[in-house]
């Protein structure tokens, strides 16, 4: 069951569970696409207006018509959207806030597959961050991406020297990814997603 956080005639903002991919995989894994018909109120099946990684939980905007999908896509392209994420990072981040301004480029190897890394030849990528709480060995932060590159928050956290807990691809260790699309402001809607169970312990330890 998909929980709707906010809605209008044109837009739904849902709470996407961690581990749920947007699109069907090659091995028949459950996906959000299979659940969207249940949210239909007319002939148009709601469609995602942007992307969230499979392992990222939280706010995802769905368009309820073709016209709404065009409008929402244009808003994301123009950065006319408020996006705020919560993450728990490994280690003690120095300082209370800052900006990562580091271009990202996709790199692939036969042995390790693909990942994004900071590279002067890459696309511009900017992330603002601020510390929300601390505990031994971890830091709870808010991340506000000014751009929307693939794996931007994960790669920028690693670039800070403090990968997101559970992000094995970028050095954060095994387990579930501690990244939540906490708040989304778009098209007159302002939605906040609850903290998923797998992040609650770490955030509580950091004072949340």
pLDDT of residue 29: 67
For 140-158, the pLDDT digits (tens) are 999 999 999 999 999 999 9
Q: Could you tell me the pTM of the whole model?
A: 0.94
pLDDT of residue 28: 61
Counted residue by residue, the chain has a size of: 208
Active-site amino acid positions: 53
Q: Is 135 helix (H, G, I), strand (E, B) or coil?
A: strand
Query: pLDDT averaged over the chain?
Result: 94
pLDDT at 176 over 80: yes
Question: If you average pLDDT over residues 2-25, what whole number do you get?
Answer: 93
**DSSP string covering 142-200, please?**
EEEESS--TTHHHHHHHHTT-PBTT-GGGT--SSS--EEEEEEEETTEEEEPPPPHHHH
In the chain, pLDDT over 70 holds for what percent of residues? 98
User: CATH code for 3-205?
Assistant: 3.30.2350.10
For 56-89, the pLDDT digits (tens) are 999 999 999 999 999 999 999 999 999 999 999 9
For 103-147, the pLDDT digits (tens) are 999 988 777 778 899 999 999 999 999 999 999 999 999 999 999
- The domain locations on the chain are 3-205
pLDDT at 55 over 80: yes
How far, rounded to the nearest angstrom, does the alpha carbon of residue 36 sit from its chain's CA centroid?
Answer: 19
| Rounded Cα distance, 163 and 170, in Å | 6
């Amino acid at each position: 069951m998909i929980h709707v956080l906010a809605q209008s005639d044109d837009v739904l903002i849902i709470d996407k569970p961690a581990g749920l991919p947007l699109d069907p995989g090659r091995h028949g894994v459950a996906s959000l696409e299979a659940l969207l018909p249940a949210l239909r109120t007319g002939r148009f099946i709601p469609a995602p207006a942007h992307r969230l990684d499979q392992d990222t939980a939280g706010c995802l905007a769905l368009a309820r018509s073709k016209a709404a999908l065009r409008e929402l896509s244009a808003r994301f392209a123009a950065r006319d959207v408020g996006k705020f994420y919560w993450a728990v990072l490994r280690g003690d981040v120095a300082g209370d806030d800052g900006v990562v301004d580091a271009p990202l480029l996709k790199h692939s190897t036969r042995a390790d597959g693909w990942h994004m890394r900071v590279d002067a030849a890459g696309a511009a990528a900017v992330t603002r961050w601020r510390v929300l709480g601390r505990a031994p060995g971890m830091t709870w932060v808010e991340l506000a991406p000014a751009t929307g590159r693939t794996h931007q928050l994960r790669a920028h956290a690693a670039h800070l020297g403090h990968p997101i807990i559970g992000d094995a691809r970028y050095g954060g260790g095994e387990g579930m990814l501690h990244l939540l699309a906490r708040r989304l402001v778009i098209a007159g809607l302002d939605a906040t997603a609850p903290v998923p169970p797998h992040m609650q312990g770490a955030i509580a330890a950091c004072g949340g």
